[in-house]
Amino acid sequence: MGRPPLDIGTYGAIRCYQSESGWRAQTNYRDYDGHTRPVQRRGKTKAEAERKLKKALAERKAPVGDGLTPDSRFKEAAALWFGKFQALADAGKRSPGSVDTYRSILDRHVLPGLGELRIREMTVARIDAFLQALWRSVSVDTAKTARSVLSGALRIAVRDKALDTNPVRETDRLEAGRKKSPRALTLEERILWLEMLESDEQAVKWDLPDLSRFMMATGVRIGEALAVYWEDVDFEAGTVAVNYTVIRAKGIGLIRKSTKTEAGERTLPLPRWALDMLKRRYAVTLFPNGPVFPSSLGGLRDPSNARRDLRKARGGEEFAWVTSHVFRKTAATILDEAGLSARLVADQLGHARPSMTQDVYFARKVVDKRAADALEGALDKPKEDAVEGEEDQVEDGPPDAAA
């Protein structure tokens, strides 16, 4: 049985040979390509030759990964992880919004709390205590984002063999209290909401009535609604292409980026009343090559500012619960009550599921026309009750002419 090979990055016994010119120290070194090669150095004395050889072997060692060790600070691992995430965002594989979110969580919470610890000090108990404290003092969402940051940074430490396993995986789950189901606007509430906005001069100035109509007609997110340009509206076909969303990128400003998933890119048929609203807007717009719902200067409108305007316009208790997401829930509820399948509703909203089989084997880019048909009556006023006795008269038939 042959001798087992050297481990990658290690060397065998050092042998020294004397010659007329001095000493030669030699050993076999297994490189990171798997090949074992002889390495030697010379010196005037045996000790000098051996010392030079050991120095050459140390320099020859290629670091594993990014060179983190158990004594490296956690902030070094965090910097490496964030740099890789930023590179993915620069390549268009991650959202600029995610970059801003992670940077904020790193700077405000993770680095002040754990940044100076050695990687070997990043234990399950210590990380768990940090996350639980963050949950109690800030929010469960912040704690969950911090957990993702910690896990990503320590994954690099595991790869570099500075840790055996990722301790974040063993921390307790972060669970919020039971979430309330999003509430949808009823027909009466939809009509009252629009009447309230139309009578509010400031709400009209903020363009909230038509923005509300558009979101109820499509079920799109507010960022998606504000990213729609006039070129995305096909008046002849009665559809709108939803392929982008508006976000604010740090150091850049408002940008129009593609939706997160392929399912988010969709072409939606519009109910007649929404199409009429868009035609009316297009006839008077000052920015025919810009967004359908522009800022006052004709550029992209900030979703955060639009949400703030909605909060200011919703008034007292009656509509205090209304947010931009309520319009999305309202559209979904209308479609569900109309008997559309979960698949059709998911297509309308831009969700990849409910079924992996359906997602893989059925291509859906233009949503079923029944979605627009179901939304057609979303803003119709309720009909007056039938005149008392009218039904009986129809059932009895007209009076006998002979009588």
List the chain domain ranges. 15-60, 74-170, 187-375
What is the spatial distance between Cα 169 and Cα 122, in angstroms, rounded to a whole number? 12
If pLDDT is split at 50, 70 and 90, which confidence band does 261 have?
A: low
**Coil, helix or strand for 82?**
helix
Q: What is the pLDDT of residues 301-329, one digit of tens each?
A: 999 899 999 999 987 778 988 988 889 88
Q: What is the pLDDT of residue 348?
A: 80
If pLDDT is split at 50, 70 and 90, which confidence band does 360 have?
A: very low
Q: Are 253 and 276 in contact (CB under 8 A)?
A: no
Q: Which of 102-106, 173-177, 358-362 has the lowest mean pLDDT?
A: 358-362
For the segment(s) 187-375, the CATH number from 1.10.150.120, 3.30.70.240, 3.30.700.30, 1.10.443.10 is: 1.10.443.10
- Is 90 exceeded by the pLDDT of residue 74? yes
Which residue would you say has higher pLDDT here, 161 or 362?
161
Q: Are 226 and 212 in contact (CB under 8 A)?
A: no
Environment class of 167 (CB within 10 Å of its CB; exposed 0-12, middle 13-18, buried 19+): buried
The residue type at 32: Y
Q: What is the pLDDT of residues 15-43, one digit of tens each?
A: 999 998 999 999 999 887 778 899 999 99
With CA atoms as reference, report the closest residue to 206 among 287, 296, 275.
296
- Is CATH 1.10.3720.10 the classification given to domain 74-170? no
Q: What global pTM score does this model have?
A: 0.57
Quick one: CA dihedral 252, 253, 257, 260, positive or negative?
positive
Tell me how far apart the 2 most distant CA atoms of the chain are, in Å: 145
If pLDDT is split at 50, 70 and 90, which confidence band does 181 have?
A: low
